[in-house]
Amino acid sequence: MAKDKRTAFFISDGTGLTVEAIGHSLLAQFQDQHVEQVTLPYIDSTEKVQQALQRIEKAARESGLQPIIITSIVSDKIRDQLHQSPALMLDIFENYLTPLANLFGRDPAQTVNVSHGIADNRRYSERIDAVHFAIDNDDGRRISEFEQADVILLGVSRSGKTPTCLYLALQFGLRAANYPITEEDMDSTTLPKILRPYRQKLFGLTIKPERLMQIRQERRANSRYASKEQCEFEVRQVEQMLRRAQVPFLNATQLSVEELATRLMSQAGIERRID
């Protein structure tokens, strides 16, 4: 741990993904603070908590700054151990299970990882099938399956279609295909013929030409593909095409994959297939 650098520990008895997400969104409100972030997943035994505590005390000692702990641990026993640390403790379960228990008139189950939907076969299959669908239907590879798609993303090459489709599949179990608008398609600003039957499923991604150029330069520096003129031309043509065909679209320039996926769903009114 660096000296004079505070550490935030995200500690969970499961994957740690949730406390990590909470930590990121909270710390993002204090971006001038340089906080080292450490995720400690699967802290589900007395031994592991002891090791974690040693790491936390070390961080406190070496930095001279009070560490932060953001945690969601189900077991009271393990949680109590963790509370012996010198850190500022933000304990999700401690803060929120009690009000919920009062509301429901029940004690929490105190079973770890039930939240991960273990052996939830339907959810598993939906997810896996959606992922394979996204791969098979990436980059216009298999138009024959567009019939079964929940959504078909359109856009120029490198506008973020592929990661968005895969995120939609993994997170929401949606069957998302994507189709790259090629240069032939751009000769006109009418929708490519093969897409017309699926107009209701189409959703466009566009992007600022400067950003597109930047992304493409990283891949093929100084190519025509990555040139200012080409990027400007493609974006202009595709945006006209989307407007003419009245296909809804988002500008991906400043959005993360998570934002693209969730904004797309609310804008197009697409419901998730898995929780």
**Longest CA span, the chain:** 68
- CB neighbour list of residue 254: distance below 8 Å, 6 or more residues apart: none
| 159 known ligand binder | yes
Which of 64, 163, 197, 248 forms a contact with its own copies (CB under 8 A)? Answer: 163
At 88, which helix (H) or strand (E)? strand 88-91
Contact 3, 63 (CB under 8 A): yes
| 158 known ligand binder | yes
Tokens 């589900």 correspond to 44
Which of 81, 18, 31 minimizes the C-alpha distance to 51? 81
Tokens linked to 238:
């595709």
Tokens 């499923």 correspond to 201
Name the CA radius of gyration of the chain, rounded: 24
Q: Using the rule CB under 8 A, is 52 a contact of its own copies? A: no
Q: Using the rule CB under 8 A, is 171 a contact of its own copies? A: yes
Which of 50, 54, 66, 84 forms a contact with its own copies (CB under 8 A)? Answer: 66
**215-274 positions binding its own copies, by CB under 8 A:** 215, 218, 253-259, 261-263, 266
Q: Mask of contacts with its own copies, 173-202, x by CB under 8 A?
A: ------------------------------
| 64 known ligand binder | no
**106-125 positions binding its own copies, by CB under 8 A:** 106, 108-111, 113-119, 121, 124-125
**Structure letter (DSSP) for residue 185:** G
Tell me the number of residues near its own copies by CB under 8 A.
Answer: 81
Q: Using the rule CB under 8 A, is 2 a contact of its own copies? A: no
Q: Using the rule CB under 8 A, is 145 a contact of its own copies? A: no
Q: Which residues are annotated as a binding site?
A: 155-162
Q: Which residues are annotated as a binding site for ADP?
A: 155-162
